Structure 1
C-alpha cells in the first residue's frame, strides 16, 4: 500500500473514532432529554388525572376548568388507571391493562415511581385526598419522540458515512501535500548517478524542519560517497603512476648491475639506491593506505579534547623532527574542558600533523603559529606560516592526490598529505578554508563540529 493511501486511511480512521464518539454522545444526550421530558409529561398527566377525578371539591372553578380543558389532551397510546389504598380499581375499569399489587405497593412506598416496559413509559403517583388515598398510574408511548429519534439516527448515519468519504479524500489531498517534499527528494535522487555524485539536494536555509534535516543527512551521505568514488578513482589512476617510478628505478639498477661483474663498491652503491627506492615505495604505499582508510566507514569515534590533541601533535613533531618553532595559543569563548570533538583520534592526528609538517617544511625554520578557538558550533584550528605560499591558480587543486604546486618541487614530498587531510576533515563533517599569497605564507583554518 502506498504511503499516501495509508496516511489517508489512518487519518480517516482516527477521524471516524472521534466523530463516532461525538455523534454517539449527541444521540445519548438527546435520547436522555427525550425520556426525561416525556417522564415530566407523564408526571403532569398523572396530576391532572388525579385533580380531574378526585379534587373537584378542593379546586376553584377556574382552576378546575383549566384542568378539565387539559384532561382530554391525552398522550399517544395512553392508559390511565386509578386505585384506592386497598389496590382496588376506581372510576376506570382495569380492562386489559392492569397493574400488579407489587408495583402498586412500590408506588405507595416511594410516593412517585417511574418504570418502563419496552417503548412504554409508566408513571405512578400516590395521591392523598379528603375522600381517601389513591394511586394513579399513567402509561403512554412517546411515538413522536421515537420517530424523531429514528430520524436522528438516520441523519447521524448518513452524516457519518458521508463525512468518512469526504475525510478520506481530504486526507489524500493532505497526504499528497505532506509527502510532496519526499517525492521531490526521490525525484532528485533518481537523477544522481555515479557520474553525478556532485549534485546535492536543495535545502531551505530560511527554515529547518524534518524534511530539511533529511535532505541535509542525504547530502552528507552523498558527500561521503563522492569522496569515496573520487579517491578510488584517484587511487587507481595515481597509484600505478607513483608506484611505477620506484619499481622502474629498482629494476633498472638491478639490471644494469647484473650486466657484468662489478666491484664491491659498485654493488654497495647499487644496493643503497635500491634501498632508497624501496623506502620511497614503502612511504608511498603507507600514504596510499592512510588515504584509503579515510574512505572507509570508520566508526571508531570517541570524544577528543582538542587542546590535548594539539599538544600531542606538537610534541610528536618536536620529538621526530627536532622542530621547536611551533607556537600554540588557545582562544576559547567557553570553558576549555568543554572543547571536545567526536571523531577518530588517529585520523585527526594525521590530518592536523600533515598541515603542521607542511607549514614547518615550507617555512624553512621560520615560526609557525597554531591557534585553537571556537564559535557556537565549531572548533577552529588556525595554522599560519611564513613560507613560500600557494599560487591562486593552485588553491583549488592542492587537495587532489599527488598534486604539487610548481614552487614546491624543490621540497621533499609526494602530494598526498593535504588530500588525506581533506578526506579526514570531510569525514568529520568539517571544512577547510585557505588563504595564501606567494612569498607571504599560508593560513589554513580547519572547522570541526563540536560534540
Structure 2
C-alpha cells in the first residue's frame, strides 16, 4: 500500500470517526429532548383532564368518548385519576388500561413525587396532584408517534449524509494526498536521474520551510558529500595510476636490465641505489595518499578534542627537523599568546600534518633551508604565520596551488607529489579555519592560518 493510499484511508477513517461521534451526540441529545418534551405533554394533558373532571364537573363519559374517538388519530393520552386512598376516580379506558397501576407504583410516586418510565416504547408518567386541598394520584401514558418518526428521520438523514460524506472524503483524500505528495513524486523522478556519472545534479528546492523542502536540502547535502567523495576517489585512482606506475616502471626496467647479463659490482650497486630511491619515493607517495584520504573524511567522522596549538606546532617542527636535520625553523610566540587560551577544538594528528607540510615546504623552497613561524592571538582567533625567503610562487599559479596534484614551475627546484598544499587546505577547512597565501617571485612566501579558539 503506497503512502497516498494510507494517507487517504487514515484521513477518511479519522474524519468518519469524528462525524460518527458528533452524530451520536446529536442523536442522543435529540432523543433525550424528545423524552423530556413528551413527559411535559403527558403532565399537561393529565392536569387538563383532572381539572375538567374535578374542577368543572365535566362528566366522565364525555372525556372517555373524546379519548376513544381521538385515540387512533391524535394519539390521545391515556389518563387515570386516583384519590389519596388509591381508589379509581376516572380512567379514559378501563378495558384498555395500558399502564396497569399497582400499589408499588403508587408508593414509588409518593416517595419521588414524580415517576417516569418506558413500557413497550410508551412513555408513562405518574405524579401527585393537589386540588382544593385534596391530593390525587394521576398516571398518564401515550406513544409518541410524531416524536419517534421525527427521530427516525433524523437518524436516516444522518446515515445518508454519512455515506455521502464517506464517498466525498475518499475523493477529497485522494485529491489532497496526491497534491500534497506531488513534490515527493517529483523528488523520486529527479533522484532516479542521478547516478555516479552525474552526481552534480540536485533536487529542486522551494522557498517554503516545510519538511519536504528540508528533505530536499538534506538529500542535496548528501549528494554534495557523495560527489566530493567520488571526485576524491577518481582523483586518487587517477593519481595512483600515473604516479605509482612511474617508479614501479623504473624499478622493473632497472631489474630487467641488470638481469639481462652479468654486471660489474658497481653496476649492481648503482641499480640497487636507483631502486632504493624509487622505493623511498613510492613509500613517501603512499604515505601522502593515505593522509590525503584521511583529510577527505566528513567532519562528523573525525574525532575532535581540545588541542593546544603550541604543542601541535612544536611537534610538527620537531618531526620536520628530525627528517631534515639541515632545516632551520624559528618559532616566535606573540605577547598576547601566552596570556590567553591557546586551545582549539581539533584533531591533533591532522593539525600536526598540516603544519608539518607548510613548514617543510617553506624550508624546502628557501635557499637558506629556513623559515619563520609566528603564533599570536587576535580576539577569538589564533593566528599562525609561516614565512620564508625562498623562490616564491608566480602570481598566475597562486590560484592553483591548492588543486590536487598540481605541480607548479618550481617543481624543478625541489621534488614533490603535489598533494601537500591540497592536504593542508582540506585539513584547515575541516577545522573551519581560513588559509591565506601571499607570495612574490624571489622574495618568498607568507602563509596566514586562522583558527577559532575555545
Which residue is 2:224 aligned to? Answer: 223
Q: TM-score, normalised by structure 1?
A: 0.77
Please report how far the alpha carbon of residue 282 of structure 1 lies from its aligned counterpart in structure 2 after TM superposition.
0.7
Contact 1:46–1:124 (CA<8 Å) still a contact in 2?
no
Q: 1:85 to 1:438 in 2, by over 3 A?
A: same
Please report how far the alpha carbon of residue 139 of structure 1 lies from its aligned counterpart in structure 2 after TM superposition.
0.8
Please report how far the alpha carbon of residue 256 of structure 1 lies from its aligned counterpart in structure 2 after TM superposition.
5.4
- SS of the residue aligned with 1:138? strand
Distance 1:28 1:240 in 2: 84
Which residue is 1:405 aligned to? Answer: 408
Q: How does 1:350-429 map to 2 (within 5 A)?
A: 350-351=353-354, 353-355=356-358, 357-358=360-361, 361=364, 365-368=370-373, 385=387, 388-389=392-393, 391-392=395-396, 395=399, 398-400=402-404, 402-421=405-424
Distance 1:143 1:22 in 2: 25
Which runs of 5 or more structure 1 residues have no equivalent in the other structure? Answer: 58-68
Distance 1:390 1:87 in 2: 126
- SS of the residue aligned with 1:56? coil
Q: 1:371 to 1:219 in 2, by over 3 A?
A: farther
Distance 2:34 2:334 in 1: 86
- SS of the residue aligned with 1:302? coil
Please report how far the alpha carbon of residue 327 of structure 1 lies from its aligned counterpart in structure 2 after TM superposition.
6.0
Distance 1:42 1:26 in 2: 24
**1:222-261 Cα deviation digits (max 9, x unpaired):** 2232233223322332213212332333344455556554
Distance 1:237 1:83 in 2: 114
Q: 1:169 to 1:225 in 2, by over 3 A?
A: same
- SS of the residue aligned with 1:403? coil
In the alignment of these two chains, the number of paired residues is 424
Which residue is 2:63 aligned to? Answer: none
Q: 1:328 to 1:139 in 2, by over 3 A?
A: farther
**1:346-368 Cα deviation digits (max 9, x unpaired):** 45654565456546655764545
Quick check: 214-223 or 10-19, which moved more?
A: 214-223
Which residue is 1:155 aligned to? Answer: 157
Q: How does 1:270-349 map to 2 (within 5 A)?
A: 270-293=271-294, 301-305=302-306, 308=307, 310-322=309-321, 324-325=329-330, 340=345, 346-347=349-350
- SS of the residue aligned with 1:12? helix
- SS of the residue aligned with 2:181? helix
Please report how far the alpha carbon of residue 207 of structure 1 lies from its aligned counterpart in structure 2 after TM superposition.
5.1
Quick check: 417-426 or 207-216, which moved more?
A: 417-426
Which residue is 1:107 aligned to? Answer: 109
Q: 1:117 to 1:243 in 2, by over 3 A?
A: same
- SS of the residue aligned with 1:133? strand
Q: 1:44 to 1:233 in 2, by over 3 A?
A: same
Please report how far the alpha carbon of residue 95 of structure 1 lies from its aligned counterpart in structure 2 after TM superposition.
1.8
Contact 1:398–1:405 (CA<8 Å) still a contact in 2?
no
Q: 1:198 to 1:29 in 2, by over 3 A?
A: same
Distance 2:10 2:336 in 1: 54
Which residue is 2:324 aligned to? Answer: none
Which residue is 1:47 aligned to? Answer: 47
Contact 1:8–1:171 (CA<8 Å) still a contact in 2?
yes
Distance 1:163 1:390 in 2: 78
Q: How does 1:6-25 map to 2 (within 5 A)?
A: 6-25=6-25
Please report how far the alpha carbon of residue 8 of structure 1 lies from its aligned counterpart in structure 2 after TM superposition.
1.5
Which residue is 2:325 aligned to? Answer: none
Distance 1:330 1:119 in 2: 102
Contact 2:438–2:446 (CA<8 Å) still a contact in 1?
yes
Q: Say whether residues 1:214 and 2:218 are aligned partners.
A: no
RMSD: 4.1
Quick check: 431-440 or 139-148, which moved more?
A: 431-440
Please report how far the alpha carbon of residue 89 of structure 1 lies from its aligned counterpart in structure 2 after TM superposition.
2.0
Which runs of 5 or more structure 2 residues have no equivalent in the other structure? Answer: 58-65, 322-327
**1:288-346 Cα deviation digits (max 9, x unpaired):** 233345567897543422xx2533431222212246446678999xx9699646xx664
Contact 1:80–1:137 (CA<8 Å) still a contact in 2?
yes
Contact 1:390–1:438 (CA<8 Å) still a contact in 2?
yes
**1:78-134 Cα deviation digits (max 9, x unpaired):** 211112233232222522212222112211222221111132111111123448432
Distance 1:271 1:287 in 2: 24
Which residue is 1:170 aligned to? Answer: 172
- SS of the residue aligned with 2:415? coil
Distance 2:56 2:240 in 1: 123
Contact 1:360–1:368 (CA<8 Å) still a contact in 2?
no
Q: How does 1:52-63 map to 2 (within 5 A)?
A: 52-56=52-56
- SS of the residue aligned with 1:395? helix
